[in-house]
Amino acid sequence: MSARFVTIWFRHLATDWLIRRQPELQHVPFVFAAPIHGRMVITAASIPAETQGISPGMPVADAKAIVPGLQAFDAIPEKDAQLLHALGEWCIRYTPLVAVDLPDGLILDISGCAHLWGGEKEYLKEIITKLRAIGYDVRGAMADTIGTAWAVSRYGKIKPIIESGEQAAALHPLPPAALRLSPDTLERLHKLGLHQIGSFMNMPGRVLRRRFGPSLLSRLTQALGYEIESIQPLYPAVPYVERLPCLEPIRTATGIEIAIKTLLDKLCARLQQEGQGLRTATLKGYRTDNRMVQVTIGTNRASNNPAHLFKLFELKIPAIEPALGIELFTLEAEKTEEAAPAQEALWTAGPGLNNPSVAALLDRLAGKIGADNIHRYLPQEHYWPERAIKQTPSLEEQPATTWRTDKPRPVQLLAQPAPIEVTAPIPDYPPMLFRYKGKLHEIRKADGPERIEREWWLDGGEHRDYYTVEDKDGQRYWLFRSGHYAEKKSQWFIHGFFA
């Protein structure tokens, strides 16, 4: 399969955008202008203004002398780039590889996509018709190379679809400007009477390089397909992505369910063949009103089980608003990992994190209450309690050390110790009373102290003397004194709660 590209030229990008926002300007001559060297210069002109002789690069004062009723608006910096980026995202419904071609175009790598719309002619017609319907004056062309498609979309007067291998014939009658050359190179070609690409296309490469520099030869070989020209897509291509165009717009939850199951069956089949499982996946729905809706799921363990993954997406279906209908679904597995094959055993999987049912349960809980509310912690080799644990998103990660069990540790540890008020204790004894969040606690039992030295290689400060205490209500707490006992100067903190 040969590569195929589509280039789209927005002939009046900025002015079309303003007309979409202010329809009353459709038949009014107006321009955008920006200050250049102390005077206002036109950067874009509407179609009515162009028909009366106004063009970009002309001073506004001269343009108003030609068209007295001309309206001038201040050009918005970077607006063209923002518009092209948004339009490029819109075009992702037709191909995952879309690049912005400043200042007024898009480049689409459509290799292997056109058949989904019934062929290249129907594919290109669909894109151009939709863009014109939302208010943009566009031209498009399709060819084996970016250079040829770009040239035909802007300068071509023949059919916009160039058959594979016909780049030379399509370029032959076009002017040199169709090769995206610099103004200096174009001026030299004009002085030599080379007004068509065909007049120098067959010249030896060394002659073209010597007379016009390497840029002309490079652009020519790129357009002819002898040199590869790459693009920078708006988003990196996702290796695992499935697309499902709809014959009729989908507006019901049942239709969305069928689309999800169809996409998951295809995606999981690929993942299973390659021994991969997804960790995060996004379902995108492209609606008929030119908007896109999406939902994302995540798994605690790499999974390629379509039944389990559908249960996760099923929880998200109420958040999908089809409006007038969804005409295209895509399913992207943004993050994948190697999936360990399930091993047969003479008994069922035992309890613990290795049980697949536990991972499936955690995935469903994350879909209902949010993944941010489910945490897994592993021990770390640190003395300081708040550093002795770390959070991990994976069920597969193994601890580097074991949990400490020789000393009592609370089941809930505060992220930062909270200061408390205590009665004046006897040196090296726990307090008899302490107040935390306005509540007074009377201590009946206590154990300690356990001294934990600060990790001096990480930071400086006092050591801590920890006590496990129990109040008259039977609640147990983990308290500590910072540093040595000093009357009226000792600072006490609460750091955790026991079960």
pLDDT tens column, 174-203:
999 999 999 999 999 999 999 999 999 999
Q: To 5 degrees, how large is the angle CA 345–CA 346–CA 348?
A: 70
Q: Look up residue 460 and give its DSSP letter.
A: -
Q: What is the DSSP string of 62-111?
A: HHHHHSTT-EEEEPPTTHHHHHHHHHHHHHTTT-SEEEEETTTEEEEE-T
Say which residue, 411 or 173, is predicted with more confidence: 173
Mean per-residue pLDDT, 109-123: 90
Q: Look up residue 28 and give its DSSP letter.
A: S
**Position 347 pLDDT exceeds 50:** no
Mean per-residue pLDDT, 22-40: 93
All structural domains of the chain: 5-153 (3.40.1170.60), 161-224 (1.10.150.20), 241-338 (3.30.1490.100), 412-497 (no CATH)
pTM for this predicted structure: 0.62
Mean per-residue pLDDT, 334-339: 86
Q: What local confidence, expressed as pLDDT, does residue 360 receive? A: 67
Q: What local confidence, expressed as pLDDT, does residue 356 receive? A: 65
- Cα 377 from Cα 358, distance rounded (Å): 16
- Cα 117 from Cα 1, distance rounded (Å): 17
**Position 396 pLDDT exceeds 80:** no
Give residue-wise pLDDT tens across range 76-88: 999 999 999 999 9
Mean per-residue pLDDT, 472-492: 83
- Cα 190 from Cα 176, distance rounded (Å): 9
Q: Which of 427, 91, 259 is nearest to 100 (CA)?
A: 91
**Position 497 pLDDT exceeds 50:** yes
Judge contact between 16 and 23, C-beta under 8 A.
no
